[in-house]
Chain A
Amino acid sequence: MKDRRTAVLRKKRSGAIAARRLKFLLTADQTGIPPEVLAMLRDDICRVISRYMDVDASGMELRVRYSHGELSGEDSADRSAVLCTAIPVRNLRLKGIIT
């Protein structure tokens, strides 16, 4: 019982896991980019950022937002896509690569 409770505490709550999985899945659905490729993109972005600061890769969000152009009423083709990413930073102090 106690083991189970500590295991639960250690793990992220399932609601948050669901939200994160879902956001990722919808980004893949909406862009048509396969989840596998999207995961590579995510990991690559994380790798680059983490050269500069300490980030929490597991909390990273990757989403595509669409901004409708002024003339977009009729045709959904002229909306432009914006890739948005949010990465939790553990430590904002830059790593020692800047001379």
Chain B
Amino acid sequence: MDGNKKAFYFLFIPVALWLFILIILPHIDLFLSSFKPNSGEDVYTLENYSAFFADPIYWRTFINTASYAIGVTLLAFVVSFPIAFYLVKVISPKVSGFLMLLLLIPLWIGELVTIYGWVILLGEQGVINESLKFLGLIDHSLPLIYNNLSMTIGLLYMSMLFMIIPIMTTMESLDDAMIEAASDLGASKWTVFRRIVIPHAMPGIINGSIIVFMLVIGDYVAPNILGGKSSLWFTEQIYNQFLSTFNWNQGAAFGFLLLIISSATIWMALRLSGQKLDKVGD
């Protein structure tokens, strides 16, 4: 065995063990248990999966979750694209480095803390309501929190960075002269964006969209803390199955449904937009 091979195994074995013991094995176990009835009988059945389609509360929650995830992804793109463009192409690298740091800080303190930060801001006795009252603009607190809007804000806030960074990466390789050439040839600013900047940043946009969609559809904290009664999230259904009704088999089935349907959604989105998965990240 030569040195190269040794190094290969040295690096490969921990990865393989990690993947197998901590990811593949539990998934296999969950996958198998998703086909078992809650009664504990040792038979395989599809009843956990059919329950999803049988009870409207489950699939409606799922459709609600998926639509919001798509909406938040689009919103994240709309918000992040100008930010990424500004950071890479408009301001000096020094300033953009500093602003990048500011963007990263919420990530360091964890999702739970930042979401509670939004509770403090949006709450009935929160910063915004109290300030407005102090200024005499309102008499009673506005219903800013525990609804779909506050939940969307929270989801957007915690996932935006994962859209900004991939777009920034692709944007960095865009030659400034290309933007100038387009406007030299008579293109308006809008055309430059539509025909040059966005097509160039497409791999980053797709990449960011996949990450954001997955993060949002699988998020638990923001919908749970910032969402209202009507904003039931599918992850909460899974949580309930595991920890409220102790129906682990049902929870496992829901988990796999989430995985399968969200993967299928991404696959369909890629097909519809004519992108290829192997091109993403180029």
A binds B: no
